[in-house]
Each structure stands twice: as structure tokens, then as C-alpha cells.
């Protein structure tokens, strides 16, 4: 939508667009009205279309009488329901209009309205910056000569409210990290192979100072990554495990105390999921390039962590990357796999592949990383889409402290999680007549929970762990709010918030 978005201290001379806010059913408040001496804004705010609804934008033209050439009055919704998060959508509505009128900048003066609603400038600015930044995502790398190039402007935003402007800067940075995840997700499977994903992770590491190690070939055997080796073996695009590590600078990570152990973030990164020999049917394969979105979001989060969040503890990211394909070398239903923690798995369905590669990462983390906690993100089941739609991410976490942290972080990012149960009965459902467990119970019961129950066999007792099934929320079909149809980078901002709040 824009070529770039920058927060500047002072608006450039050519930039004479003023943005004011208006609550539902109310005129412009006096302090906002004073910012346009011509009176045009106050008059416009009384027009019938000036509802103050979130998403509404009304224009006023001071005609040379005021400091601004054009005033946008953006709707802030009901004053008693207002909170900073509303501003993501407000900013998006503003951004769409600014792009429509080919603006190169705007001065955002929501201060008076924020004061009325008692919302602090920094949080408001952060949500606003996220909204504009997310709206600004462009991925036209895969367009060709038959597409018309869209003309885009460089957008400069400023505000006289210092903390609002600083908040906007932060919001933009988190949006950029989210947009990295979205661009990776959008990349097609003939480009985004496991080796390509490893290159992208290496680029990120170079840019941000993260440590990186990519396990491939013989390394996978040595590390006993049984799931990755088997799921990935049918494809000529060979699997890998990517390990990234953030280490606090200066004195490094504390050796003792609360922050001594690392947070471990794990992402399912299936560059394509055909279902394997249990092949996906009836066009169920379309869109499975996005089966890597858990890993894409973990990479986005690591960018934010390394560049702006800079938490006190170490953070380890593990991306289990493979292509679930078919060939005579494919793993099969009936195969029995022996994982590095000794648990054996009878494969009943090669389309339940995500849990097999995540099992490797969970086992590895428990054995080698001494985690403070582990969070995995995965497009794991179609069942979670049936259960929760695209409104809530399915959350499985039996540790109250970790769950609380995640719920609070989601509150700040505007992402939503809904807890699903994980009792012993579900673990029983996974028992196999041949091996220890099956990767999928052939009955149709509780698929999302089966996924979580399976994973629990690979988590050591006492390690706090959360599984997030993002299959319903990782992408959107609508152009709405700050998103356009496509990937949303679900969880990037949540993870950044979580590590910041600790």
C-alpha cells in the first residue's frame, strides 16, 4: 500500500494532512476542534456521515484558512468501549484513505480524544503504529508482466504528542516483524523449500546478531530427529531443523535466578503438506504452502526479540522444517518410528505429520536446552478450524503461570486464544496396539486435542509447555481491519509482548 512508512519528528512542508478523532454520536471535542482554526473540521464532524464508527473517515477542507490542507476525522467508536486496541482498525481505515488520496504524510493528533478516554499515549501510539504497519504489508514479488504496477508513496507520520509518536515507532517495528512472517508464508512451495527457509533464517541471524545452527543430513541422524527424517524423506527438498538463539548482550544471560533458563519457541514449518501417502483429497491441498506459518511466526518473533524487545533471558527458536510429499521413499501408514526419548509411534496417517516433527523439537528442547518454558505454534489440525473458526487460536497449556503470560500478551496484541482441555482420557486415546502411541486415532473424535495429547508424550514432566494450534487463525480470507486476504503473521506480536512483559 505504501512504499515505506516512517515516523518523523516534524511533518515535512508538503505534508498538510491533519488527522483528528471523533467518538460515536459526539461532535468534535473542543480541544480537537481548536486544532483547525478554520472551523471546517468541527463543521464536518456534524455531517450525517460523521458517525464516529470505527472505520469511518470524514474529510474536511479548510480551503487555505487553516494550517492543514485536508483534515481526516477518524471514527473512534463508542467512548465507553474505547481501548488502545481499537486504534489498530482506526489506523487501518486512515491508512486506506491516505493511500487512496496518494498522501505522503499526515499529522496524527488524537491526544484530546485519548485524554477524554483516559488511554495513555504510548500504548495508543503502539496500536496505531501496528495498524498502519500491518496495513502497509506488500508482497508483489510473485507478480509478473501481466499485473499493473501499483503506484506507492513514501508515507511520513508525525504527532505533537511525543509518547504517541514513540509508541507509533514501536508499533511499526512489531508490524515489520509480523510482515516478515507474512512474506515468508506467502512464498510459494517451489521457492520456499526447507533449504530456502534455512537461508532466510541465516539472513535474519546475520542482520540481527542471532546465533544460528541448521541441522541437516547426517546431523539429523545424530540428533535422532526421527520425525523430521521420516516426514521429509519423500521429497527431494530435504528437511532440516533450524536453531536460532538470542543471547542478551552486555553481561549476557544471568547464570542464576528467574531469567537463567531460556524461553524455547518451536514452529511447525511444513513448506508443503500434500498429506503424504495418506494424500489430501478434494482440493484439500490448496493453501498448504501455509503449513509453515508456525515457523514463519517464530522467525518474525525472533526478529522483534533481537532488535527491539531484547529480553533479559535467552530465547531459543527451533523450526522443524520439511516437505510432506509422496514418492516410493515416503514414510507410510503402518511404519513404526522410535523417537529420541524412546517413545515409539505407529503411523496411522501420514497427514498427521506436524506432530511428528514437533515431537523432535520438544524432545530436543527438554534434553538439550533446559527450558524455562516451551511454546509451540503449529497449523496442526483442520479440527481446530471446525471448533473455533478463525476467531480464536486453540490453546493447550496446563501450566497456569505460562497460560496467564500468554493470555496477557494476547490481550496486548489483540490476538485471541481459547483454552481447550488436555486430560488423561485424551492421552489414552493415543495408545497403539502395536507401538506406544499412534499419530492419529482413526476415529473422528477431538482431533485438535488428539494433536496436543500426542505432543504431550514428548514433553518432560515439570517443563511448562503451551501448544498453540493456529490452523484457524494464521490467514484471513477478508480484506478487513489492518489485513488483506492472506497470512496475518499470527503470534509474532503476542510472543514479542510476552517476552517484553517478563
Write out the catalytic residue numbers: 280, 355
Cite the beta strand spans of 335-481 per DSSP E: 336-338, 344-346, 373-378, 393-396, 417-419, 437-438, 465-469, 475-476
The residue with cell 497449556 is 397
Let me know: does 57 contact 74? Beta carbons within 8 Å: yes
Provide the mask over 6-35, with x wherever binding to Zn ion is found by CB under 5 A and - wherever it is not.
Answer: ------------------------------
* Contact pick of 440, 463, 481, 491 for ligand BES (by CB under 6 A): 440
User: What's the first-to-final CA gap in the chain, in angstroms?
Assistant: 35
Let me know: does 124 contact 33? Beta carbons within 8 Å: no
C-alpha cell at 336: 513404526
* Contact pick of 379, 413, 456, 497 for ligand BES (by CB under 6 A): 379
- Among positions 123-152, residues that touch ligand BES (CB under 6 A) are none
Let me know: does 97 contact 57? Beta carbons within 8 Å: yes
User: Least distance to ligand BES from the beta carbon of 381, Å?
Assistant: 4
Q: Which stretch binds ligand BES (CB under 6 A): 9-17, 72-80, 374-382, 455-463?
A: 374-382
* Contact pick of 55, 248, 382, 411 for ligand BES (by CB under 6 A): 382
User: Least distance to ligand BES from the beta carbon of 482, Å?
Assistant: 22
Contact between 273 and Zn ion per CB under 5 A: yes
* Contact pick of 179, 187, 235, 381 for ligand BES (by CB under 6 A): 381
Beta bridge partners of 264: 316, 374
Residue 377's binding partner among Zn ion, Mn ion, ligand BES, none (Cβ under 5 to 8 angstroms by kind) is none
In the bound state with ligand BES, the residue whose beta carbon lies nearer, of 58 and 438, is: 438
User: Least distance to Zn ion from the beta carbon of 353, Å?
Assistant: 6
The residue with cell 515505506 is 4
Beta bridge partners of 72: 19, 59
User: Least distance to ligand BES from the beta carbon of 215, Å?
Assistant: 22
Q: How many residues bind ligand BES (CB under 6 A)?
A: 16
Q: How many residues bind Zn ion (CB under 5 A)?
A: 4
Cα–Cα–Cα angle for 243, 314, 251, rounded to 5 degrees = 130
Contact between 189 and Zn ion per CB under 5 A: no
Q: What is the 3-state secondary structure (H, E, C) of 169-208?
A: HHHHHHHHHHHHHHHHHHCCCCCCCHHHHHHHHHHHHHHH
Question: Which of 136, 78, 87 lies closest to 111, judged by CA?
Answer: 87
User: Least distance to Mn ion from the beta carbon of 385, Å?
Assistant: 13
Q: Please give the Cα distance from 121 to 500 (Å, whole number).
A: 19
Provide the mask over 272-291, with x wherever binding to ligand BES is found by CB under 6 A and - wherever it is not.
Answer: -x-----------------x
- Strand-pair category, 465-469 with 373-378: parallel
* Contact pick of 109, 273, 293, 323 for Mn ion (by CB under 5 A): 273
* Contact pick of 176, 226, 351, 369 for Mn ion (by CB under 5 A): 351
Q: List residues binding Zn ion (CB under 5 A).
A: 270, 273, 291, 354
Amino acid at each position: 500500500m505504501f512504499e515505506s512508512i516512517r515516523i518523523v519528528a516534524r511533518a515535512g512542508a508538503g505534508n498538510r494532512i491533519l488527522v483528528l478523532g471523533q467518538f460515536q454520536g459526539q461532535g468534535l471535542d473542543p480541544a480537537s476542534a481548536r486544532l483547525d482554526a478554520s472551523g471546517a473540521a468541527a463543521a464536518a464532524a456534524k455531517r450525517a456521515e460523521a458517525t464516529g464508527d470505527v472505520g469511518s473517515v470524514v474529510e474536511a477542507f479548510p480551503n487555505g484558512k487553516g494550517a492543514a490542507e485536508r483534515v481526516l476525522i477518524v471514527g473512534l467508536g463508542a467512548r465507553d468501549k474505547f481501548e488502545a486496541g481499537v486504534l489498530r482498525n482506526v489506523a487501518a481505515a486512515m491508512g486506506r484513505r491516505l493511500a487512496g488520496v496518494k498522501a505522503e504524510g499526515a499529522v496524527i493528533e488524537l491526544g484530546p480524544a485519548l485524554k477524554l478516554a483516559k488511554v495513555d499515549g504510548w500504548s495508543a501510539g503502539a496500536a496505531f503504529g501496528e495498524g498502519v504497519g500491518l496495513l502497509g504489508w506488500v508482497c508483489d514479488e510473485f507478480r509478473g508482466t501481466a499485473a499493473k504496477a501499483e503506484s506507492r508513496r513514501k508515507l511520513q507520520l508525525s504527532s505533537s504528542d511525543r509518547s504517541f509518536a514513540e509508541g507509533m515507532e514501536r508499533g511499526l517495528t512489531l508490524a515489520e516483524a509480523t510482515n516478515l512472517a507474512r512474506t515468508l508464508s506467502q512464498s510459494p512451495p517451489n521457492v520456499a523449500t526447507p533449504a530456502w527457509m534455512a537461508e532466510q533464517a541465516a539472513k535474519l541471524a546475520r542482520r540481527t546478531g542471532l546465533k544460528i545452527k541448521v541441522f541437516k543430513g547426517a546431523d539429523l541422524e545424530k540428533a535422532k530427529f526421527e520425525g523430521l527424517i521420516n516426514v521429509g524423506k519423500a521429497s527431494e527438498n530435504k528437511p532440516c531443523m533450524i536453531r536460532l538463539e538470542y543471547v542478551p548482550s552486555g553481561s549476557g544471560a544471568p547464570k542464576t535466578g528467574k531469567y537463567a533458563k531460556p524461553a524455547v519457541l518451536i514452529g511447525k514449518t511444513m513448506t508443503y503438506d500434500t498429506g503424504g501417502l495418506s494424500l489430501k483429497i478434494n482440493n484439500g491441498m490448496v493453501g498448504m504452502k501455509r503449513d509453515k506459518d508456525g515457523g514463519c511466526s517464530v522467525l518474525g518473533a525472533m526478529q522483534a526479540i533481537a532488535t527491539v524487545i531484547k529480553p533479559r533471558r535467552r530465547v531459543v527458536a527451533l523450526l522443524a522444517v520439511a516437505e510432506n510429499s509422496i514418492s516410493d521413499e515416503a514414510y507410510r501408514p503402518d511404519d513404526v518410528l522410535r523417537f529420541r526419548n524412546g517413545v515409539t509411534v505407529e503411523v496411522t496417517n501420514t497427514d498427521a505429520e506436524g506432530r511428528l516433527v514437533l515431537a523432535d523439537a520438544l524432545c530436543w528442547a527438554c534434553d538439550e536446552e533446559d527450558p524455562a518454558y516451551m511454546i509451540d505454534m503449529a497449523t496442526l489440525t483442520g479440527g481446530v478450524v471446525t471448533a473455533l473458526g478463525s476467531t480464536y487460536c486453540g490453546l493447550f497449556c496446563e501450566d497456569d503461570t505460562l497460560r496467564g503470560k500468554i493470555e496477557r500478551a494476547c490481550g496486548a496484541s489483540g490476538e485471541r486464544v481459547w483454552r481447550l482441555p488436555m486430560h488423561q482420557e485424551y492421552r489414552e486415546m493415543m495408545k497403539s496396539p502395536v507401538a506406544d502411541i499412534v499419530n492419529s486415532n482413526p476415529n473422528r473424535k477431538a482431533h485438535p486435542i488428539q494433536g496436543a495429547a500426542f505432543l504431550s508424550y514428548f514433553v518432560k514432566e515439570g517443563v511448562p509447555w503451551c501448544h498453540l494450534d493456529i490452523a484457524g487463525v494464521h490467514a484471513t480470507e477478508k480484506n478487513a481491519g489492518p489485513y488483506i486476504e492472506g497470512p496475518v503473521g499470527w503470534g509474532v506480536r503476542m510472543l514479542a509482548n510476552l517476552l517484553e512483559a517478563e
